[in-house]
Structure 1
């Protein structure tokens, strides 16, 4: 990916990285997209302050890109697997608000003095693996295949993902074993430990998986006790209704906006898991699409509000208060502007039916 970056203009690089974050996060999820782009950013931009600004805008764009895709964020994947949203309706309702959510902060930031001028000369590495492009596009294709697989077979999404993993692993094994002579590979002890699949599986972030497992188990316990349902009733009784009077919305827009703002503090995964247990409404109700948008993009307001923000903070050592002062306001503007676009679009679609 680094070989495609030829411009030295900071503004063009900002739009390039933001757009890449928006598109990639919809395919490989916002956490992975953030890791990939910040890794590339560290090899291109040497100035620390400039790189922090780039990283902050990447977080906003990655979270916005993950909100409109069923495989772009943990929260949207949870809603998709729980049969609360379908892939096509999620894209129809959330894509345009998500574009506004990332494009408006990027447009405002491009006018700031920090993005004036050019960066230093870009050094492109020559030692690129000849199979890197093949594996990159095969991996993206395998991930994009999962929603299609679920639609065609009606099997759980994890079955399609495991099938994609099997294809990618088989191709990787074939390409890596071609480097060894068959006779040598059969008898060479070292050759047997060059499996790219084993190497990749050893890098799985088990603490993160256990973190999500613990959250979901705790929320499931609250749901089984009936506490989430009671809490949802309290919210609907005490928070004034804002939004269209159409029967399909069911949940106040203000409640969803509060969930989005709360995701910046608590993290969006437990809030969405709780909302699945709280609200008893049907599949593809507009409220689910609004929850997917609000929870996915609201986490950008604080650096600790999303997995993408946390990983960016770790990779670039971003200070919490620096992000709140410099990037938080831009994220809030994008979040509110996208929310307004969502409400207008939702009402238009409801009235058109």
Structure 2
């Protein structure tokens, strides 16, 4: 039965990686393989000889001797445990996405556009790279990429030039997301899973992530594509909403406050995110003169928003397919973890892989394993890779292993355009060709990844 479940996972994973070829959204195979995996576990529960207790991070003693009823009870408790942990991540992401959409409702991101006054290609490259690095740490790398490419489309007329900027934005956004607990889904998973803390994440990864952004940007600034001045697009935007700046700073401030809320209250991060969303929503409703009713909204906003309050409009715009994909993939990986498959694979991996550099404290996990995880995240989605690592390794909170995993999984995806959510969305927004990115941008991303990884290996000894 274990073999069948592994086969279901492999086939589902394959369908996810080739979604563009088979024209089926990746959320569909993710949900299907999750449901089938747990159904097979329930049907074949009596045939399993071991069970992994995620709460205590160890195998259940004497599982094979238990009767059917007790095994089913343990399975149901485990399923509920994993659903709870997954829901913490999903509710957190829903809150963050909604705040970002509320900011966009008030045209808040136009404030960022107003900061750009220069026509120099090289200067604009550095402005966008730095903005991507900072914004992705606040509103996550996917959203930062969408925002910045949207702004880019308004100020850069030539698409052949714009895709160069988009490529460097992907690298900078992924680098910026790695050192923040709210900057990337994988880092958020490690943070919510009590593997890393905000302070240590910043201490370990800020400098490596910064170099991962600076090295490619510095090299690119000397390439022919970024020489000379830009021909700007005429600004035909409608007048900026008078509350745009206020909502931008309020929304970003609310998201940034979440790690502080967790540190002070020791409550799960999604509670702080819901508080931030509630406060932002109050001001949004007041500013739009909308009623807190599902119908009969009294608003003078644009006709597109006429039948919505800002909050309802924002909720209708969030990326629900991404949320369902995360649900499917995390719960599917949880199925493999519960059977002890990942736990056993980790032991085999650690025994067979050669050591590179310093061993991590605890179980002596090879640096090479983590570097390969980074390279692997460029080929396949980094979410299941990190989810698997949570079930494979048992190092304590803030062990340097978890921080290296956060860096590798977060930045390694930049090496291919399909290797990160930021890359995929940029690919869709600018119709960037896979092989163009491979030829023009991938080597820059690789150099940045290596520079950051080498820096991490040196600086980790200081903490």
**Normalization by structure 1: what TM-score?**
0.94
CA contact 1:11–1:110 (8 Å) conserved in 2: yes
Whether contact under 8 Å (2:360, 2:401) holds in the other structure is: no
Q: 1:131 corresponds to which residue? A: 243
Q: Is the 8 A contact 2:258 2:269 kept in 1?
A: yes
Aligned to 2:154: 43
Picking from 262, 269, 287, the partner of 1:157 is 269
Alignment-derived partner of residue 252 in structure 2: 140
Runs of 4+ in 1 over 2 A off after TM superposition: 121-126, 184-188, 190-194, 245-250
Change (3 A) 1:187 1:324: closer
Aligned to 1:81: 192
- Give 3-state SS (helix, strand or coil) of 1:91's partner: helix
Q: Report the secondary structure of 1:242's partner residue.
A: coil
Match of 1:251 among 349, 365, 381: 365
Aligned residue in 2 for 1:62: 173
Give the count of matched residue pairs: 344
1:1-353 aligned at under 5 Å gives the runs: 1-121=112-232, 123-124=234-235, 125=237, 127-177=239-289, 193-245=307-359, 247=361, 250-349=364-463
CA distance in 2, matches of 1:209, 1:104: 33
Deviation of the 1:142 alpha carbon: 0.4
How many Å separate the matches in 2 of 1:238 and 1:299? 25
Map Cα deviations across residues 264-303 of structure 1 (whole Å, 9 max, x no partner): 0111111000000000110000010000000000000000
Q: 1:246 to 1:298 in 2, by over 3 A?
A: closer
Deviation sequence 1:201-257 (CA, Å, 0-9, x none):
001111111111111011100000000011111110110111225635731100000
Task: Indicate the SS of the match to 1:53.
Answer: helix
- Distance in 2, matches of 1:344 and 1:146, equals 30
* CA-CA distance at 1:126 after TM superposition: 6.0
The structure whose Rg is larger is 2
- For residue 120 of structure 1, report the CA deviation from its aligned partner: 1.1
CA-to-aligned-CA distance 1:120-156 (integer Å, 9 cap, x gap): 1454446111100000000000001100000000111
Mapped contact 1:8–1:122 kept (Cα < 8 A) = no
Task: Give the SS at the match of 2:114.
Answer: helix
**Deviation per residue, 1:182-202 (Å, 9 max, x gap):** xx97799x9983411111100
